[in-house]
Homo-oligomer: A and B are copies of this chain.
């Protein structure tokens, strides 16, 4: 009952993700959000709470969506090395959306460890991604693609760290980040 909303909540949240990813939390003003999401001020507050709650919801959805995209990209590949490469390459931006950074990396850069709720989401996302990556690393070690002496969890953490670096460098204008990714992977390959 009650008057139905005139906007699509999911689309609005997606738009909020883009606004926050471009400007960061504190530099994204309510006006930016209202304009970017295409809804009224009161609708925003009614549907999402305040700016901080909107950000947290945006960060959560961003984490989920990008994890699923990474999983899908890896699932397309048969051999482990190709899967890891696909995981590193995804969401690096193709020039067009270069100005829209990564909300995960951006929130770490902006908040560090100062916000418990942001910390919790970041920790969860990091754990999920490293688990995914570690599985494929183990596959590659078993199949002989990767050096047998590696520590799969250590490699997975390193790859997540590398991915953060790739995103930062891409946002900073480096158009060769894919070569960097392949170079690191080459160092993991069995002889």
Q: Residues on A close to B: CB < 8 A?
A: 22, 24-27, 98-99, 101, 105-106, 108-110, 112-114, 119, 122-123, 126, 154-155, 157-158, 160-166, 168-169, 171-174, 176-177, 179-180, 183-184, 186-188, 191
Cα-based distance from A158 to B171 in the complex (angstroms): 15
**Knowing A161-B177, A169-B160 touch, does A22 contact B112 (C-beta < 8 A)?**
yes
**Knowing A27-B110, A109-B106, A184-B187 touch, does A157 contact B171 (C-beta < 8 A)?**
no
Cα-based distance from A96 to B183 in the complex (angstroms): 33
Contact B168 A166 (CB under 8 A): no
Of A106, A126, A166, A184, most B-chain CB atoms within 10 Å: A184
Main SS at interface, chain A: helix
